[in-house]
Structure 1
Amino acid sequence: MSPGTHQRVRKRKGTLVKDVIIDGKSLTLDDVAAVARPGRALGLVHTDVAQKAVKRSRDLKLDLIATGQPIYGVTTGFGDSVVNQIAPQKAAELQRHLVTYHLNGTGPLAPAEVVRATLLIRANCLARGNSGVQPDVIGLLLDFLRHDILPRVPERGSVGASGDLVPLCYVANTLFGEGEVEYRGEVRPAADVLAELGLTPVVPEAKDGLGLINGTSFSAAFAVLATQDAAQLARVADLATALASEALLGNRGHFDSFIHEQRPHRGQLASAAHLGRLLDGSGLSLPHDQVVGSNDPLDGKGHGKLKRSIQDRYSLRCAPHVAGVLRDTIEWVDGWLETEINASTDNPLFDAENGRVHSGGNFYAGHVVQAMDALKVAVASVADLLDRQLQLLVDAKYNNGLTENLIPHTAGDAWEKGLHHGFKGMQIACSALTAEALKHAGPATVFSRSTEAHNQDKVSMAPIAARDARRIVELTQEVAAIQILAACQALDLRGTAEMAPRTRAVHALVRTRVPFVDADRRMDGDIAEVVALIRSGALLAATGTEGELR
């Protein structure tokens, strides 16, 4: 799209509307998240330039079919069946068969936000104008988004080789007026919903089915949303570390810019700077010189014992080196994913300018799987970091004078002593969540296998890696919630008066949703409350440091 072809922001009936441009070139990761997670006024604009490119591609397809030459998946069978050529008159019927025989997905249904992201990414990839599909295919995908018509898509069944064939078939099937969708909270036949809204199902022609299913859009949808949430988690990890540093009477000099400028990885620098801002003004986590000065001088003695350690344990001192790796991983993952969602990822592709058709393998989701395998490891490492900080908070041997398991003081009631166990169960639960995150962090890439009569003899495994990444992000959000709850409990025991202004604001927000644990009680609801604060962005917003470099 040339500059000025369409405004990204406009007014509609007095409301400011952000247009999401559908042209195969301009879609951003933020666009995907905004469409997938409704909340802003959005317009979906399939540009005139892109529509003309789609039409040229489709016209070329029809011209080439008329020559009688074999075209993969158009006038031939699929995969290993490419050796079977069919008459052009059968080409449309072949597309229905393609979709039907792949309707064998299993497992839980993909979340609504993933389905929305899938619809958007698939529409955008086809809008690039190389796939030979009817314009109506893209139009109906966008209509599904406008009306929030959501195909019911099982998560399992794709190896990310010839695209996400199985899950995307559930999308294609509903566009053809078959199968079921969720609409306004009800599960209904797709044909009924389309008829009610005055929308016409796509009558498939040659390549339409293949264009819809032969791509990486389902994997990319999981990947984009997981990466967006991981970027938020990197900043949440800094916040959790700041709270722990105060609760444990830490040394905020570990985050001094001089240290990190001598090893200037962008993510590490950003994390250290964020921690410095969060802890600015704290009377609990002190600058290095104040920590040193709080100890008695030797005064000629040959040995002395420091009252306050001048170095914290690694899970505090090296936190920027862990969260920084996640930030830097996200930086290059973002670039790869933005390329992926603006690419032609099906096969064959039609070169309208030169009048040729090309068979290739852009459906192979190698970049998506590599990105997600890296993201999984970086996020799981953050979970492990926060779990180690929690261990310091609850263990009286390491928490600098706090109670065992952060048990509330029970002075005045001797009967209560020995009955309460504070955060002991929370630490066990956090350990389990962390272990699960670490378990799923293993690379999916290396489990490639040969399928489909050894035609798909090297496959990407991208959807599995992307689903694992989402799961690890969710587990790490729960780990962070438990650590933050424990840090807030510890700070109540320590005294909140000397907290830094930004961390004190976070503590105050948490306390509006979760009370101090003054006696043993169930805390699953507490975890859910703080997870909601994390996911909504409210927890970070309370710090006033939003907009930090990822």
Structure 2
Amino acid sequence: MQHQRNALVIDGRTLRVDDVVDVASGGADVRLAGSAAVRIEQSRELKQTLIDSGQPIYGVTTGFGDSVTRQISSAKTAELQRNLVRYHLNGTGPIAAADVVRATMLIRANCLARGASGIRVAVIDGLLALVNHDALPLIPERGSVGASGDLVPLCYVASAVFGEGRVTYRNETRPATDVWTEIGLPPVVPEAKDGLALINGTSFSAAFAVLALAEAERLVRLAELCTAMASEALLGNSGHFAPFIHAQKPHPGQQASAAAVRELLADSGLALDHGRVVGLTDRIGERGYLKQERSIQDRYSVRCAPHVIGMVRDTAAWVRQWVEIEINSTNDNPLFDAGDGIVHSGGNFYGGHLVQAMDALKVGVANLADLLDRQLELVVDEKFNNGLTPNLVPRFAAGDWRAGLHHGFKGMQIACSAIAAEALKGTMPASVFSRSTEAHNQDKVSMAPIAGRDARAVAALVEEVVAIHLLAMCQALDLRGVENAAPLTRGIHALIRSRVPELTDDRAMDGDIAVVLHLVRSGALVAELDRLRGRGQAIPVG
């Protein structure tokens, strides 16, 4: 794939997850590769030849679904495509976020750019015009079962491409036809197969999948940061992350997560390696019993963190492979083989790989919430936090009238646990809830869009858990003496403290959460971590 500054050239074969994330985040200049245009025109010529021959072609000269036995003349093929789009405009629920809509249109354009769909270049040009001008169709999130593709949500895209329906443009909701006039381009006039090619695919599901994956990969890195800070807050044993341990169970993600936490804890005066922990207590000698100054083993939520976070790393690795195959696939039906001169009917619109990927990803990501909530419980609980104040309340001097009045992070832990529970509740697999639809033609469907939406919703909840956790860890480091923390965790503490002050009296902390949540979702925290590390890139997730 060729890249220019603020430009992306799509060819149907080399689109990356990171490209989609970039375009989804805002303005873009996306163009179709010339090589793709040649393939597209060849398949369209074959389609026209087969139409002229009078043979039935599914969805082109026949009805849709179980109406496949009803053939129409070539004179009716264009109007059939408009009706296909119109009768699927029955979505419900919230309107999809702008990043999802941008990602959907880019992915749909790229899938069609493979050149097996029998459409015109003009259809892809129309999609890209909407992307490049940031004219976004209003897409209700509900209504797709993920086979025969994302029919309902993608119909709102097709409707806008054809100059119908409504779009958001320059912060206003307007008729699509007016926006086409304003940008100085005509809407696409559909011909045979154009509507079906636009709606009969997995692009809406894939948009959620791409964005959920990107968020999961960021959450992996933040969970490693949270774990390092928790280890310091609890005066932990950094030897739990030693290379030798994880080389004996060499899952790549586990090894990578242990290495990341180990690097974050380098030069910490709070979390000590095994030898230093052991050295804090005199040798037992002739004594029959000796209580150690510090435990040589931390609880599972710290000691086993690489095994939990590493699992998500490894899950994200294969999810990325599957998602990138999907967004570079011809996933509609029928398909035109210009080389052999034949048309094929199949089921590439089925979102089976996407639903399995998202069902797995959301389970892994929700586990991060559970892990971090358990770490937070240890840090706020005076029975387990190795000398920190109960609930991380400020330390008050003897006789200070405020003593006993404050409860610090007690409420924050309750909220964190509630959010973690909600994330865990969202892990029910969507793939097993197939429904038979459309007169038993679509009798086994994927439910991919539901799984994709669930995965993104779970990721959003885990981001809230991360924000609360980081606030608590910063408070704990303040109490421990942040000057004793590792340079990297000290740097993240400084970033958060530049925006949120230390807790010195009980106060409302919802605003604090919102501030840190913005740092999480904007990528600012991860960017600062990379800057502190002196590298342009961290240990890759997957």
Q: TM-score, normalised by structure 2?
A: 0.97
Question: Is the counterpart of residue 199 in structure 1 residue 160 in structure 2?
Answer: no
Counterpart of 2:29 in structure 1 is 43
1:67 Cα deviation after fit? 1.2
1:7 Cα deviation after fit? 4.1
More displaced stretch, 540-549 vs 312-321: 540-549
1:187-233 per-position Cα deviation (integer Å, ceiling 9, x unaligned): 00100010011111111111111000000000000000110111111
Q: How does 1:10-409 map to 2 (within 5 A)?
A: 17-38=5-26, 43-409=29-395
Question: Is the counterpart of residue 548 in structure 1 residue 534 in structure 2?
Answer: no
Q: Distance in 2 between matches of 1:117 and 1:8?
A: 18
Q: Distance in 1 between matches of 2:2 and 2:283?
A: 67
Tell me if the contact between 1:162 and 1:456 (Cα under 8 Å) persists in the aligned partners: yes
Provide the secondary structure at the position in 2 that maps to 1:21. Answer: strand
Q: Distance in 2 between matches of 1:245 and 1:166?
A: 48
1:296 Cα deviation after fit? 2.7
Tell me if the contact between 1:132 and 1:207 (Cα under 8 Å) persists in the aligned partners: yes
Q: Distance in 2 between matches of 1:30 and 1:352?
A: 31
Counterpart of 1:12 in structure 2 is none
Query: What amino acid is aligned across from residue 24 of structure 2 in structure 1?
Result: A
1:473-523 per-position Cα deviation (integer Å, ceiling 9, x unaligned): 111111011111001111111111111011100001000011111111111
Q: Distance in 2 between matches of 1:120 and 1:312?
A: 47
Counterpart of 1:410 in structure 2 is 396
Provide the secondary structure at the position in 1 that maps to 2:173. Answer: strand
Query: What amino acid is aligned across from residue 29 of structure 1 in structure 2?
Result: V
1:112-138 per-position Cα deviation (integer Å, ceiling 9, x unaligned): 000000000000001110001121110
1:154-207 per-position Cα deviation (integer Å, ceiling 9, x unaligned): 001101010000000000011111110000110001000100111111111111
Query: What amino acid is aligned across from residue 498 of structure 2 in structure 1?
Result: T
1:542 Cα deviation after fit? 2.6
Tell me if the contact between 2:153 and 2:204 (Cα under 8 Å) persists in the aligned partners: yes
Query: What amino acid is aligned across from residue 547 of structure 1 in structure 2?
Result: A
Provide the secondary structure at the position in 1 that maps to 2:383. Answer: coil
Q: Distance in 2 between matches of 1:106 and 1:524?
A: 31
Which blocks of at least 5 consecutive residues in structure 2 are unaligned? Answer: none
Query: What amino acid is aligned across from residue 313 of structure 1 in structure 2?
Result: R
Counterpart of 2:485 in structure 1 is 499
Tell me if the contact between 1:440 and 1:472 (Cα under 8 Å) persists in the aligned partners: yes
Q: Distance in 2 between matches of 1:189 and 1:371?
A: 36
Counterpart of 2:3 in structure 1 is 8
Question: Is the counterpart of residue 481 in structure 1 residue 467 in structure 2?
Answer: yes
Query: What amino acid is aligned across from residue 8 of structure 1 in structure 2?
Result: H
Q: Distance in 2 between matches of 1:413 and 1:113?
A: 55
Which blocks of at least 5 consecutive residues in structure 1 are unaligned? Answer: 1-5, 10-16
Tell me if the contact between 1:24 and 1:342 (Cα under 8 Å) persists in the aligned partners: yes
Tell me if the contact between 2:2 and 2:9 (Cα under 8 Å) persists in the aligned partners: no
1:77-96 per-position Cα deviation (integer Å, ceiling 9, x unaligned): 11111111111111111111
1:269-306 per-position Cα deviation (integer Å, ceiling 9, x unaligned): 11111111110000000000000111232221111211
Q: Distance in 2 between matches of 1:336 and 1:51?
A: 25
1:357 Cα deviation after fit? 0.5
Q: Distance in 2 between matches of 1:258 and 1:43?
A: 48
Provide the secondary structure at the position in 1 that maps to 2:482. Answer: coil
Provide the secondary structure at the position in 2 that maps to 1:350. Answer: strand
1:408-442 per-position Cα deviation (integer Å, ceiling 9, x unaligned): 12325643222211111111111111001100112
Q: Distance in 2 between matches of 1:541 and 1:36?
A: 19
Provide the secondary structure at the position in 1 that maps to 2:168. Answer: strand
Tell me if the contact between 1:383 and 1:480 (Cα under 8 Å) persists in the aligned partners: yes
Tell me if the contact between 1:408 and 1:518 (Cα under 8 Å) persists in the aligned partners: yes
Q: Distance in 2 between matches of 1:413 and 1:59?
A: 89
Provide the secondary structure at the position in 2 that maps to 1:416. Answer: coil
1:340 Cα deviation after fit? 0.3
Counterpart of 1:523 in structure 2 is 509
1:385-419 per-position Cα deviation (integer Å, ceiling 9, x unaligned): 00000000111100001111111123256432222
Q: Distance in 1 between matches of 2:437 and 2:356?
A: 20
Q: How does 1:444-459 map to 2 (within 5 A)?
A: 444-459=430-445
Provide the secondary structure at the position in 2 that maps to 1:222. Answer: helix
Tell me if the contact between 2:2 and 2:8 (Cα under 8 Å) persists in the aligned partners: no
Provide the secondary structure at the position in 2 that maps to 1:107. Answer: strand
Query: What amino acid is aligned across from residue 23 of structure 2 in structure 1?
Result: V
Tell me if the contact between 2:63 and 2:71 (Cα under 8 Å) persists in the aligned partners: yes
Q: Distance in 2 between matches of 1:413 and 1:94?
A: 83
Tell me if the contact between 1:106 and 1:155 (Cα under 8 Å) persists in the aligned partners: yes
Q: Distance in 1 between matches of 2:56 and 2:22?
A: 42
1:43 Cα deviation after fit? 3.5
1:68 Cα deviation after fit? 1.2
Tell me if the contact between 1:57 and 1:131 (Cα under 8 Å) persists in the aligned partners: yes
Q: Distance in 2 between matches of 1:447 and 1:115?
A: 25
RMSD: 1.2
1:540 Cα deviation after fit? 2.3
Q: Distance in 1 between matches of 2:35 and 2:133?
A: 24
1:63 Cα deviation after fit? 1.0
Q: TM-score, normalised by structure 1?
A: 0.96
Provide the secondary structure at the position in 1 that maps to 2:177. Answer: helix
Structure 1 371/7 Cα, relative in aligned 2: closer, same or farther at 3 Å? closer
Q: Distance in 1 between matches of 2:524 and 2:188?
A: 42
Tell me if the contact between 1:315 and 1:388 (Cα under 8 Å) persists in the aligned partners: yes
Tell me if the contact between 1:20 and 1:27 (Cα under 8 Å) persists in the aligned partners: no
